[in-house]
Chains A and B, each alone.
Chain A
Amino acid sequence: MTVANPKPADRVRVRADSPPGHVRTPWYLRGKTGIVERCLGPTLNPEQLAYGLPANSVKLYRVRFTMAEIWGEYCEAPNDTLDAEVFSHWLELEETGRAS
């Protein structure tokens, strides 16, 4: 279930997709679950901008992942974190309790 409209502290999962083209969702975060750290508001979709196409407005979020979630048992320190910016169409709500 994509097109989440998450709020800070919501648990979200990054889509485990691999579409072709210019994508700004790092490979190492795909399929990983994190917490919305803050909402950054609307921006234009870089997957369209990169090709000079008319771009849709998408929302941008900062999502915080633990190193344990990203790297599993091989992580350096499980409670260290990584924050990344992820566009809304790449996020799924982890719990389906709230509709977008």
Chain B
Amino acid sequence: MPHDPPETESPSHGAHVGHLDDFHTPLTYWQTLEIAVRELLIEKGITTGAEIAAAIDSMDRRSPADGARLIAKAWIDDRFRRKLLADGSAAMTEFGLNPAGLRLLAVENTPGIHNVIVCTLCSCYPRNLLGLPPDWYKERAYRSRLVRTPRVVLAEFGLELPAETTVRVHDSTADMRYIVIPQRPAGTTDMTEDELAGLVTRDSMIGVSRASSPRGFRE
């Protein structure tokens, strides 16, 4: 096997295989506090371990699929698109999704305007619609650089925008949560709403990429 590294020379092999760093670092102050509060809440009968596990499971199961269906609907139904732009949460309700307190604001990409979302203060994200945010969305690099040099950051995501396109960065500093309505790709005239939803990626709804082109489509 000529491609296998010699076992003795690789520091990453051996005892460390399968272990992540956080198993080896002490708990932070906040981690300790969280464990203490959680154990107290369970001990006093205010909640149970099963309830906490169920809540985590329900958070983890959310995905960008609902957001993608919402965008596909806006692409094929102009009345709905206008409603989504005017009152995002009301449009969610009409579509059969529960906003659950989410104040949704939709911003629309056009040939002349590209929108992209960030939360510089923390990591606000429309989790009801898009699921858990990607790790990079929460990192300081994305949060600090997107507001300063959005075009460079977007290029790093593979999205090079022409100079004549205006970039609009949206910093979710308070109560609103944002979703980008990406431009509907060319070559999709005959596609069904479900097929269109398959082209709407998580990243396109954050604004760091375009919606996917249909398979086999050439400009």
Total A residues in contact with B, Cβ cutoff 8 Å: 22
Given known contacts A24-B121, A26-B121, A43-B174, is B169 in contact with A82 (CB within 8 Å)? yes
Assembly CA distance A76 to B169 (angstroms): 13
Contact between A60 and B174, CB atoms less than 8 A apart: yes
Contact residues in B for A82 (Cβ distance below 8 Å)? 147, 168-171
Q: Which residue of A lies closest to B115 (CB)?
A: A83
Does B188 sit within 8 A of A, measured CB to CB? Answer: no
Given contacts A24-B121, A26-B121, contact A76 B170 (CB under 8 A): no
Known: A80-B168, A85-B171. 20 other contacts (CB 8 A): A25-B173, A26-B120, A40-B175, A40-B176, A43-B175, A60-B174, A60-B175, A62-B176, A76-B150, A77-B151, A77-B167, A79-B166, A80-B166, A82-B147, A82-B169, A83-B171, A84-B173, A85-B172, A86-B173, A87-B174
Q: Which residues of B contact A (CB under 8 A)?
A: 103, 120-121, 147-152, 163, 166-176
Contacts of A87 in B (CB 8 A): 174
Smallest CB gap from A83: residue in B: B170
Q: For the complex, give the distance between the alpha carbons of A86 and B171 in Å.
A: 10
A81 within 8 A of B: yes
- Contact (Cβ within 8 A) B173 A24: yes
State A94–B36 Cα separation when bound (angstroms).
49
Residues of A within 8 Å of B121, CB to CB, are 24, 26
Are the C-beta atoms of B174 and A76 separated by less than 8 Å?
no
Instruction: Convert A41-80 into 0s and 1s, putting 1 for each residue whose CB lies closer than 8 angstroms to a CB of B.
Output: 0010010000000000000101000000011000011011
A interface, CB within 8 angstroms of B: 24-26, 28, 40, 43, 46, 60, 62, 70-71, 76-77, 79-87
In the complex, what distance in Å separates the CA atom of A82 from the CA atom of B170?
6
Asked if A83 and B168 make an inter-chain contact with CB atoms under 8 angstroms apart, the answer reads yes
Between A and B, 28 residue pairs with Cβ closer than 8 Å are A24-B173, A24-B174, A25-B173, A26-B121, A26-B171, A28-B120, A40-B176, A43-B174, A43-B175, A60-B174, A60-B175, A62-B176, A71-B148, A76-B150, A76-B151, A76-B152, A77-B151, A80-B166, A81-B168, A81-B169, A82-B147, A82-B168, A82-B171, A83-B169, A83-B170, A84-B171, A85-B173, A85-B175
